[in-house]
Structure 1
């Protein structure tokens, strides 16, 4: 490959619009990778926290003591612990109300847990929509740059008497780089989105199962 067709030279020789497309795709790729590593860390921590809390919860200890431990942890107690904290706090508060129906106490605790569950899911799903957007639009953005670059190449041929491969090749190569960059940005984003969306769905099911089991336990306590 000649120096004229080197990657850096092709990028520098591209039209301003194609360079803008390339810069946009590079920026999208950098942001995507940042979010990919961020979600990897967050979801791994959420899975570990769920396992640790389930072990503590089903160890058969005093729920009041467990509540105090979670309460002391504050914002560090996320995920399943946060759902438990919201439900048990509301359960204890409503139970102190005079002449309240036990099922109303349980239902109030259940609503609080659903609110906490929604907050946890919002946190876990952060950045996933951006990854999905990058994965779905980057190939088309790159294709736009390619089409524009090829149009410029053929337009430039109108100013010469004889078209040769040496005249056409650099312009087409410049244009195709935009498509390559689009795929480079899209493929990791799509793979990461599919993986993380599946992980979030599994955590959601796990949280929901815990919510249902804890609600059953609170029903027994409310009627005790």
Structure 2
């Protein structure tokens, strides 16, 4: 008796359900590893860019850094598009319908578009984890029901209905429920962890976008009073808008 015996006694339906659970487990774990590594790298790059951005002397310096090394994080991506949108509108004006309005309105629309793109990118794969977490227990339960049905059918045909004859096959069938839970639990935990990480990052992106838009519009940040002096008490020039 055991899982091997249960598998050897299973029909095509039982083996198909087991194969489906294995595929769901492999897919969810692969996604967990990929997104976990991606989230870690994205966090490191974001902190590096934000440290550079708030210590830069001008938006020209930020723009030059992005042009040289590229935008490798959500904050850099947002800053690059916002700076380019302002420079483009200042140089060419509203040449197309999507550029209609004032420069600030065009930059605002650009920032909103980038935020939507970043949100979509962050949510990639979460649907799979949610689906696995929600359906795997029921797939395993169906496999258990199917196995119990065939076990009881075989016991009835043999005429041996004692407890020692029933417990083994039924217990084997319950393994499928355990497998379903083993597949679902990591997927649910990972989904909640990634979802929380995305919410935190989106909140930070919104705050950064608000300050960036204010700076591009007025030439100063919301917290210039706290950033206009360096760590040694000497005056530090705030970022100035990039030249058109």
Question: Which structure 1 segments of 5+ residues have no match?
Answer: none
Task: Select 1:34's aligned residue among 24, 30, 49.
Answer: 30
Question: Bigger CA drift: 109-118 or 139-148?
Answer: 109-118
Question: Bigger CA drift: 190-199 or 12-21?
Answer: 12-21
CA distance in 1, matches of 2:185, 2:142: 17
Compute the displacement of 1:78 (Å): 2.8
Aligned twin of 1:67: 63
Task: Select 1:193's aligned residue among 191, 194, 200.
Answer: 191
Question: Bigger CA drift: 76-85 or 191-200?
Answer: 76-85
Task: Select 1:20's aligned residue among 16, 31, 43.
Answer: 16
SS at match of 1:163: coil
Compute the displacement of 1:62 (Å): 1.8
Aligned twin of 1:86: 81
SS at match of 2:160: coil
Task: Select 2:176's aligned residue among 175, 178, 183.
Answer: 178
**Larger fraction in helix:** 1
Question: Bigger CA drift: 158-167 or 12-21?
Answer: 158-167
TM-score by length of 2: 0.82
CA distance in 2, matches of 1:206, 1:168: 58
Compute the displacement of 1:194 (Å): 0.4
User: Could you tell me whether the CA contact under 8 Å between 1:78 and 1:120 is conserved in 2?
Assistant: no
Compute the displacement of 1:166 (Å): 4.1
Task: Select 2:90's aligned residue among 92, 95, 107.
Answer: 95
Question: Which structure 2 segments of 5+ residues have no match?
Answer: 96-100, 221-240
* Higher RCO (Cα < 8 Å, 6 or more apart): 1
User: Could you tell me whether the CA contact under 8 Å between 2:108 and 2:213 is conserved in 1?
Assistant: yes
SS at match of 1:58: helix
Aligned twin of 2:213: 215
In the alignment, structure 1 residue 111 sits paired with structure 2 residue 115: no
CA distance in 2, matches of 1:220, 1:19: 66
CA distance in 2, matches of 1:95, 1:39: 39
TM-score by length of 1: 0.89
Task: Say what the alpha-carbon RMSD is for the aligned residues.
Answer: 2.1
Kindly report structure 1 stretches of 4+ aligned residues shifted beyond 6 Å. none
